[in-house]
Each structure stands twice: as C-alpha cells, then as structure tokens.
Amino acid sequence: MGFQVTTDHLERLAIGAGILGTGGGGNPYIGRMTTTQFLAKGATVNVVDLADVPDDAVVVTVGRMGAPTVAVERIPRGDEQVHALAALEAYTGKKVTHLVSSEIGGANSTIPMVVASQTGLPVIDADGMGRAFPELQMKTFIINGIAPTPGALCDHYGQTSVFDHITDGKTFERYMRAVTIQMGGSAGYCFPLMTGQQVRDYAVPATLSLAIRLGDAILNAREQHTNPVQAALDVTGGQLLFTGKITDVERRLIGGFTRGLVSFEGIGHDTGSNLGITFQNENLIARKDDGTILAVVPDLVCIVDADTAEPITTELLRYGMRAAILGIPAPVQMKTDAAIASVGPAAFGYPDVPFTPLPGVYGASTVSIR
Amino acid sequence: MGFQVTTDHLERLAIGAGILGTGGGGNPYIGRMTTTQFLAKGATVNVVDLADVPDDAVVVTVGRMGAPTVAVERIPRGDEQVHALAALEAYTGKKVTHLVSSEIGGANSTIPMVVASQTGLPVIDADGMGRAFPELQMKTFIINGIAPTPGALCDHYGQTSVFDHITDGKTFERYMRAVTIQMGGSAGYCFPLMTGQQVRDYAVPATLSLAIRLGDAILNAREQHTNPVQAALDVTGGQLLFTGKITDVERRLIGGFTRGLVSFEGIGHDTGSNLGITFQNENLIARKDDGTILAVVPDLVCIVDADTAEPITTELLRYGMRAAILGIPAPVQMKTDAAIASVGPAAFGYPDVPFTPLPGVYGASTVSIR
C-alpha cells in the first residue's frame, strides 16, 4: 500500500519514535522540523511497504551517529546523509533506489525522510531494530551477516569517508566512531548496501507506520480524555510494568554513553513496591527491589509520563516525575540467538541476567494510519 | 634518465634515508626487505626522472602513517598501500600512472618501491619533503595547496577508508590519525591525486637518487677507509655542526610523539663546548650551551655515528655514543613562507626561535649513482 508523509504524520512519529527509543536514540525533533521545512517547499516523501520492495532494489539505511547531546546543540545541516549517499554511490558505482531507517526509536526514525525530501527516493516502512540501540552492529542487517561496508560517513562540512572490506560489525563501529568523534561528535551515515530480498528478509516490518500509529493513538487519547498510556499499550502490544514516582537518578557519562540507574517508588496499584531501571543510553533492565526482573533488553522498557504518555528520555529523568513503565515485547528479529548475542543483556555487561521474553507480540495492533 | 632499482640500491637507500630522516621517519629496513623479496621473485622497479613525468600523469604518494614502533613489531603485510590505491581508484574512477614518495627520510622512502613491485607502476625520483616530518599536512604538495583528498587508508586486514571533500591538511591528518589508531597504530595510505604538472611544480626533485648516493658514498668511504662523515657532507651539501659524546637523553612519549632533548659534550675540535638537540620524532633545534643556535627545522639536523656515519635515530640515542651532528640545508621547497608556516620552528611549538637558514644548497652534489 504505502502512503505519502504529511506534517501530521511527522508530529505523530516524533511521539511514537520517542517511546520506541526506550530512553535513548536521540530526539526526533530536529529531523521532524527539517522534513517539515522540505515538505513546505514542495518536497514529497513516499513510504512503500516492505513487501513491495523489488528484489533488485538497492537499499541503504541512512542515519546519524554520535552523541545526541551534540546533535541537539549543533543543529545538523540536513544534507550530511545526502553527501554520504553520493560518496557511497561514487565508490560503488551503484545507484540507491530505496531508503530504510536503521532504528525507528529516536532521531533516526526521521533521517530517511530528511534524505527522501532531498533525493526523491522512497522510504521503506520498516527499520533495522524496531527500537533504539547505541551501536552500529546492533542492526538486524548486520546481526544477520550483511557486510557493513561499503559504508559512508559525512560531517557538518560535507567531508566524507567511505569504509570498505570490513566484515566485522564491531570493527566498523569502532572505525566509524573514531571518525565521528573527530568530526565533532555527530555525523551522518549511509550503509550497508542491501538488495530488496535482504531487506525483506531481515528488516523489522511496518515500524514506521507503527510509530506513527503510536503517536496518533496517544494524541487521540489526550484529545478524547481517555487513557494515553493504555492507548500506547494497545498499539504496541505492550503491558504496563509499573507506575511510580522517581525517587533517585544516578547518571554518569562513561565511554561516550550515558549510564545509570533510575529508581521509582510505586504509586496506585504499585504502592509499597519499588522499581529500578538500569540504562546505557537506552533502558536495559527493570528490576523490583525484591529482585524480580520485570523486563530485560532487547524487550523494550519505556518510561512515559503517567498522565500524558509523553516519552521521558534518559536525559530528562528527574526526581518527582510520575511515570508509567511500559514493557513491549521485542520484535522476533531481535530475539534470535544471533540477535541476543549482539543486543541481549550480556552484550551490555550483564552476563548473569537471563533474557526472559515478555509475552505478546511487538506491534500487535491493526489500528490504521489516519 | 631514470634507472632500474637493484638490491644494492636498496641497501644504500636504507642508509641514506636513515640520515635524511633526521632522527625519525621510521626504519626503512622492512620496506627494503619487502622490496628485495619482490625483486628476487622477478619484479622490476623503474625509477623515472621528475622532469620526464608527463603532464597528464596521475600521481599519488604512497606511505605508512602511525607509530614507527608499531610497524617494527607488527610487520606490515606489504600490500596495504596496494589496497588503498585500489580503493582510491574505485572511488575516483581514475587509474594511477606514477608513484612518488611522500618523505624520503626514513621508512616512507621505500614504500613506493614496495607498491611498484606489485603494480608495475614507475616511481618518480623525488619526494614531498626532502627529509622526514611527522604529519600528513607537512608535505610540499599539501603546503602548496593541493587538496589532500580523495585519499585512502588501509589496515593490516585490507580494510580501507576513502576520505573526500577535505581541503584542510590538518583536518585530514586528524581524521586519518584517528582511524590509524583504531587500525592498531599503523596503516598504509595513498593520497593526494596529482597531475604530472603539479608534481613537477611542488616535489623535491632527485631525492631518491640523492638518498641512494648518500648511502653509497658512506659505504664507499667505509670500504676505502676514508671519512664516512665527510662523504655524507659532500653528497648532501651539509656541514659538520658538532662532534660530541652523548651525556644525557630525556625522552618522553607525548601525544603520540617521542619528544625530548639529547645532550652532547664536545670532543675533538668541540672539546670544552656542549650541545643540546631538541626533538619531536625528528630533530628540531641544535643549540650550544652558550645559547648559540646552530641549526633549526626545516634545515636537517642529523645525528650519525662519528666513525661510520651510521644514522642514529631518536629511539637509539643513548649515553656514551660518539656522534657527529650534520647540518644539511633544507630544500628550497621547504623554505617558502608557506612551508615555514607548516614546518618551521613555530609549527613545532617554538614560536620564539627564528628560522635562520644554513648556508649551502640541499643535495648540492653531482656524484652519480653506481
């Protein structure tokens, strides 16, 4: 089917992608504003269904890497990924036909639309995570063995770098990160080159429309004075893990990541109980003070405002906030053995925490896009 | 005229390039051995005169960057620059026709021959420094405004990176250095793409043959029991600055460079006088204890064994060594205003030390290659 992106979609996407960012992923606001400007100037952004991508398509993910705090203070030009794309095409001699998001959670949900606005390329309704994760090798595409290179990076001045012959995702992440740091801590990327078949095999389908529907359901519930948190659960296939008030936030910058622990004192049904959530940019593990683990990465642990369901990112956590903690089952693509090795608790430094999947199905909803 | 490289040439080059390395530049031994192996297997390496390079030639420098100490312990594969060259050709769609050394001092004197052995490309009898310097922007080509990119880097595993749209040499150095560090501290490079006209305009001519003649003159003097130090001076157009015994070496690794001061107590004609030489990988300033400055970068300050004229690199300096200090006037290409801004004393952190050129002409000798 597919659809054409409107400014309303972008507003909803920003909320939905914020929730699916599970605390991290960067703020989608700038990408939303950039795309809105392009749309106002007459650009069109067409979204196509994953199933409709032809076998011989040439697909890339486009996104931004680096510290979200940098990208917020030093506004991207908006054409970094376009230059990265041009460098990749020059190197490979191939013309890209489709764009796909690398992570639907956070800022990278909007970057394909920023690029589509400038190139006219269609955006696939899918992504490589179904959420947000901090490193490049954590995309389903790389997890499933697609070589990360050739892949390109571009800085604020249009200065580019094209990597090639790197088969190991972690090595690619390390090389790209080193250049990104020299580029001022934030850069646009474009990788890996994939066929339509590969994207159909490995992408998490229909996540762009899921994020839009999620934002839409929340806005709708706010307008209708129904429960926005329940609306979010209905759309995502998630469950309410806990409701509480923030009593403490430990937050440190370690190795370029925001790591820490946020503590909640239960309210409502959870009165008398406490919950802690450890995070590394994204929320990783939700554990009650009796030791019971409620949810573990790669399942999505999302902290939202208890009343409005507005997503609360790691940076915004502060004492006294009343929050609902949502547990959304990870997409099946993130629960294979290979995926758990890359993005399970052990990959984040918790080898002793088993991954016990939440029940339910990621995005198990058929609410249509307004 | 030009000539075909022999193993004898390589032996002589290693000595000559060691002296022109002014204490740094890395050890030419490995490049010599690699080329020797290729020659033994039937490869030929043709050297062409700078004046004979046609206008429409496509020329690149090939070399190695990183910590010389790494390259010595982790022997390069020998095809890093060949892969970097292939990546650069893939990106630009151009075929390279000629190779030239980026720095005739130290290890990078031999890399073009390593690449020529594998590709059959001719090597130009010239280089981009006439000596050794620690950073990429310190080549005459970059000093004179040739864009450093497109330029490629390759690691020990054939993993490559092609940078483009970088016009500032220091930015290029910074980006390339960051990747080199991730690549394990040593990597092969290939940049910038130049026309024959550009290389003829900016290269320091006839330095490959100069280095070979220098090594030859020293070996000849040793055989003939004449004075090897005098032979070195005759070939290079240099003068004897001082003869002394090392009384102290201060050496520290700061910011990836070996920095320090070596102190000499005069012997022979210099008895009763003391000399200190400050270095950052390469020797920078030779100053007597009464404050008289004998020679300053970019002029070449070379420390050699007082009897054999064997070059003594920064790492090998130690108490008790008897050394001759040679002062060789820098090539004219390294004494322009633009060059002094890039490689004069201020560029190395000595803004108060004026550059007072040594008399004489770099390589003012007409001894022919044996």
Residues in chain B with CB shorter than 8 Å from the CB of A190 are none
Residue B125 has φ and ψ, to the nearest 5°, of: -80, 80
CATH code for the domain in which residue A122 is found: 3.40.1610.10
What is the tens place of the pLDDT at every residue in B118-128?
999 999 999 99
pLDDT of B3 over the 90 cut: yes
Give residue B256's pLDDT band: very low, low, confident or very high (50, 70, 90): low
User: Does residue B66 lie within any of the structural domains?
Assistant: yes
For chain B, what percent of residues have pLDDT higher than 90?
Answer: 88
Structure confidence at residue B367 (pLDDT): 54
**Any B CB within 8 A of A193 CB:** no
Structure confidence at residue A207 (pLDDT): 97
N residues, chain A: 370
Nearest by Cα to B284 from B302, B265, B266:
B302
Average pLDDT over residues B192-211: 97
Angstrom distances, CA of residue A242 to CA of A110, A257, A288, A338, B78: 30, 26, 9, 30, 60
CATH code for the domain in which residue B261 is found: 2.40.390.10
Range of the domain at B64: 3-205
Structure confidence at residue A252 (pLDDT): 86
Structure confidence at residue A368 (pLDDT): 54
Give residue A295's pLDDT band: very low, low, confident or very high (50, 70, 90): very high
**Any B CB within 8 A of A83 CB:** yes
User: Does residue B264 lie within any of the structural domains?
Assistant: yes
**Any B CB within 8 A of A182 CB:** yes
Report whether A265 contacts A274 (CB < 8 A). yes
Residues in chain B with CB shorter than 8 Å from the CB of A157 are 165
Domain identity same for B200 and B269: no
User: Does residue A199 lie within any of the structural domains?
Assistant: yes
Query: Is B87 in contact with A171 (Cβ distance < 8 A)?
Result: no
* B363 vs A131: which has the higher pLDDT: A131
pLDDT of A208 over the 90 cut: yes
Residues in chain B with CB shorter than 8 Å from the CB of A181 are 178
Structure confidence at residue B253 (pLDDT): 78
Report whether A131 contacts A334 (CB < 8 A). yes
Question: Which residue from A minimizes the CA distance to B83?
Answer: A165
Question: Which residue from B minimizes the CA distance to A83?
Answer: B165
Q: Computed over its alpha carbons, how large is the radius of gyration of chain A?
A: 19
| Angular region, A78: left φ>0, alpha ψ -120 to 50, beta rest | left
pLDDT of B36 over the 80 cut: yes
Domain identity same for A96 and A241: no
| DSSP symbol at B187 | E
Query: Is A175 in contact with B159 (Cβ distance < 8 A)?
Result: yes
Domain identity same for A321 and A175: no
pLDDT of A257 over the 80 cut: no
Place of tokens 């070596």: B262
Domain identity same for A52 and A161: yes
DSSP H helical ranges for chain B? 7-20, 29-40, 68-73, 80-92, 111-119, 140-143, 169-182, 196-202, 207-224, 228-236, 337-343
d(CA A64, CA A186): 7
Nearest by Cα to B180 from B162, B157, B153, B158:
B153
* A71 vs B271: which has the higher pLDDT: B271
**Any B CB within 8 A of A161 CB:** yes
Structure confidence at residue A369 (pLDDT): 55
The Cα of A357 is separated from the nearest Cα of chain B by a number of Å equal to 36
pLDDT of B135 over the 90 cut: yes
Residue A289 has φ and ψ, to the nearest 5°, of: -70, -10
Stretch among A49-53, A68-72, A351-355, A357-361 having the lowest mean pLDDT = A68-72
Angstrom distances, CA of residue A343 to CA of A131, A297, A339, A340: 11, 7, 6, 5
Tell me the two tokens of residue B322: 């008897």
DSSP assignment string, A313-349: -GGG--TT-EEEEEEEPPPGGGSSHHHHHHHSGGGGT
Domain identity same for B167 and B237: no
Nearest by Cα to A149 from A166, A168, A161:
A166
Query: Is A178 in contact with B174 (Cβ distance < 8 A)?
Result: no
Of B92, B171, B179, the CB nearest to A178: B179
Structure confidence at residue A66 (pLDDT): 87
Task: Choose the final residue of a domain: A205, A236, A251.
Answer: A205
Of A91, A157, A183, the CB nearest to B91: A91
Domain identity same for B139 and B280: no
Structure confidence at residue A67 (pLDDT): 77
User: Does residue B220 lie within any of the structural domains?
Assistant: no
For residue A83, count CB atoms less than 10 angstroms from its CB and return exposed for 0-12, middle for 13-18, buried for 19 or more: buried
User: Does residue B214 lie within any of the structural domains?
Assistant: no
Residues in chain A with CB shorter than 8 Å from the CB of B164 are 87, 90, 159-162
Average pLDDT over residues A159-169: 97
Structure confidence at residue A49 (pLDDT): 97
Residues in chain B with CB shorter than 8 Å from the CB of A162 are 87, 91, 161-162, 164
DSSP H helical ranges for chain A? 7-20, 29-40, 68-73, 80-92, 111-119, 140-143, 169-182, 196-202, 207-224, 228-236, 337-343
Average pLDDT over residues A96-111: 97
What's the total number of domains in chain A? 2
pLDDT of A366 over the 60 cut: no
Query: Is A182 in contact with B174 (Cβ distance < 8 A)?
Result: yes
Mean pLDDT of chain A: 94
Quick one: how many helices (H) and strands (E) in chain B? 11, 16
Domain identity same for A250 and A296: yes
Residues in chain A with CB shorter than 8 Å from the CB of B165 are 83, 157-160
Tell me the two tokens of residue A43: 């650009």
Structure confidence at residue B370 (pLDDT): 54
d(CA A65, CA A177): 8
Give residue B168's pLDDT band: very low, low, confident or very high (50, 70, 90): very high
User: Does residue A359 lie within any of the structural domains?
Assistant: no
pLDDT of B21 over the 70 cut: yes
Domain identity same for A72 and A17: yes
Average pLDDT over residues B215-235: 97
Query: Is A165 in contact with B159 (Cβ distance < 8 A)?
Result: yes
Residues in contact with B262: Cβ distance below 8 Å, sequence separation at least 6, in sequence order: B246, B248, B249, B250, B276, B277, B279, B303, B317
Query: Is B162 in contact with A83 (Cβ distance < 8 A)?
Result: no
Residue A58 has φ and ψ, to the nearest 5°, of: -115, 110
Of A92, A166, A178, the CB nearest to B181: A178
| DSSP symbol at A53 | S
For chain A, what percent of residues have pLDDT higher than 90?
Answer: 88
The Cα of B349 is separated from the nearest Cα of chain A by a number of Å equal to 22
pLDDT of B365 over the 80 cut: no
For chain A, what percent of residues have pLDDT higher than 70?
Answer: 98
Structure confidence at residue A365 (pLDDT): 65
Domain identity same for A130 and A249: no
Question: Which residue from B minimizes the CA distance to A89?
Answer: B91
* A175 vs B254: which has the higher pLDDT: A175
Domain identity same for A133 and A273: no
- List, in sequence order, every residue forming a beta bridge with B296; answer none if it has no partner: B285
pLDDT of A254 over the 80 cut: no
Q: Amino acid identity of B358?
A: L
Structure confidence at residue A72 (pLDDT): 72
**Any A CB within 8 A of B46 CB:** no
Of B162, B164, B182, the CB nearest to A175: B182
Structure confidence at residue B187 (pLDDT): 95
Domain identity same for A106 and A176: yes
Report whether B2 contacts B126 (CB < 8 A). no
d(CA B298, CA B346): 11
Residues in chain A with CB shorter than 8 Å from the CB of B159 are 149, 163-166, 171, 175
User: Does residue B79 lie within any of the structural domains?
Assistant: yes
Angstrom distances, CA of residue B344 to CA of B34, B65, B138, B147, B356: 34, 21, 10, 21, 10
Mean pLDDT of chain B: 95
Average pLDDT over residues A351-364: 94
User: Does residue A108 lie within any of the structural domains?
Assistant: yes
Structure confidence at residue B65 (pLDDT): 93
Average pLDDT over residues A354-364: 93
Domain identity same for A193 and A238: no
For residue A285, count CB atoms less than 10 angstroms from its CB and return exposed for 0-12, middle for 13-18, buried for 19 or more: buried
Give residue A304's pLDDT band: very low, low, confident or very high (50, 70, 90): very high
Of A160, A164, A182, the CB nearest to B160: A164
Q: Amino acid identity of A365?
A: S
Question: Which residue from B minimizes the CA distance to A158?
Answer: B165
**Any B CB within 8 A of A178 CB:** yes
Average pLDDT over residues A205-209: 97
